[in-house]
């Protein structure tokens, strides 16, 4: 078992790209990443982990940018983002492909604490067998945070009767001039799309896999 603590302070106009990976199930990781980004700084964080408890805390100052791409399974993640000064921006992306009795859970909170701040959240899951996924996301816009733009979406593709997904997107907006939206979807593979691919010579399994890959591609492309 490992419990790493990583504290990052990025100076003005600095840039950092950080990737974290783990493979196999022989160990367990309980990590904390604390990021402070000064004016004009940029952090791109990509995590591809398994068997992982993780807390991410980030504080953004003027004109700074934070992006977290969270791809993996059997994880429980808590992400907090504080947009404390004007023109700061955060993007959170997540993807979980689960099978058997695997589980993944995400809890996010984004605090818009200054005018002209922006955030985007998009999380997806693909669930087979008895797997479970949950997403709870909160966007909090303070009265001072006019001209905020904030978006949140969770899409779930459920491929068996025993798999389950729970979504709880929510907004708390105390400013008047704001663009914000949130939503969640639950669905299965489209039979017409499967029929179309099979009519072009694909087997049933290959047709389903192509549709699953297409569902995941939006997150994977943006995570690069």
Say how many C-beta atoms besides its own lie within 10 A of residue 176's C-beta. 7
- CA pseudo-torsion sign 151, 155, 78, 14: negative
Per-residue tokens: 82: 């504080």
Q: Calculate the alpha carbon distances from 161 to 48, 54, 93, 127, 188 in Å.
A: 28, 29, 26, 10, 10
Per-residue tokens: 77: 């993640």
Radius of gyration of the chain (CA): 19
Q: Which residues, 6 or more positions from 100, have their beta carbon under 8 angstroms from its beta carbon?
A: 128, 129, 130, 131
What is the rounded distance in angstroms from the CA atom of residue 80 to the CA atom of residue 59?
A: 9
Per-residue tokens: 79: 């992400």
Per-residue tokens: 172: 């708390």
- On average, the pLDDT of the chain sits at 94
Q: Contact at 8 Å (CB) between 172 and 140?
A: yes
Residue with tokens 């990583």: 6
What is the rounded distance in angstroms from the CA atom of residue 120 to the CA atom of residue 138?
A: 12
What is the rounded distance in angstroms from the CA atom of residue 35 to the CA atom of residue 16?
A: 11
What's residue 24's pLDDT?
A: 60
What's residue 1's pLDDT?
A: 80
Per-residue tokens: 40: 């004009």
Per-residue tokens: 181: 């939206």
pLDDT tens string 47-60: 988 888 999 999 99
Torsion angle, CA of 166/65/33/103, rounded to 10 degrees?
A: 20
pLDDT tens string 119-128: 999 999 999 9
Would you say residue 201 has pLDDT above 80? Answer: yes
What is the rounded distance in angstroms from the CA atom of residue 163 to the CA atom of residue 117?
A: 37
Would you say residue 11 has pLDDT above 80? Answer: yes
What's residue 72's pLDDT?
A: 85
pLDDT tens string 71-119: 988 899 999 999 999 999 999 999 999 999 999 999 999 999 999 999 9
Would you say residue 224 has pLDDT above 80? Answer: no
**pLDDT tier at 26, thresholds 50, 70, 90:** low
What's residue 135's pLDDT?
A: 96
């Amino acid at each position: 078992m490992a419990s790493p603590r990583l504290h990052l302070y990025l100076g003005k106009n600095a840039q950092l790209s950080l990737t974290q990976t783990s493979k196999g199930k022989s160990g367990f990781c309980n990590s904390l990443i604390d990021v402070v980004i000064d004016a004009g700084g940029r952090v791109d964080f990509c995590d591809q982990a398994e068997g992982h408890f993780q807390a991410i805390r980030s504080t953004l100052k003027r004109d700074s940018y934070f992006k977290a791409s969270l791809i993996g399974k059997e994880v429980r993640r808590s992400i907090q983002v504080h947009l404390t000064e004007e023109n700061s921006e955060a993007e959170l992306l997540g993807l979980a492909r689960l099978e058997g009795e695997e589980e993944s859970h995400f809890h996010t909170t984004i605090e818009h604490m200054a005018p002209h701040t922006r955030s985007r959240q998009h999380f997806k899951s693909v669930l087979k067998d008895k797997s479970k996924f949950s997403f709870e996301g909160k966007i909090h816009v303070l009265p001072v945070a006019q001209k905020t733009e904030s978006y949140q979406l969770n899409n779930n593709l459920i491929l068996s009767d025993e798999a389950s997904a729970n979504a709880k997107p929510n907004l708390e907006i105390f400013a008047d001039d704001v663009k914000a939206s949130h939503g969640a979807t639950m669905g299965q593979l489209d039979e017409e799309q499967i029929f179309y691919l099979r009519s072009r010579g694909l087997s049933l399994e290959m047709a389903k896999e192509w549709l699953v890959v297409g569902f995941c591609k939006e997150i994977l492309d943006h995570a690069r």
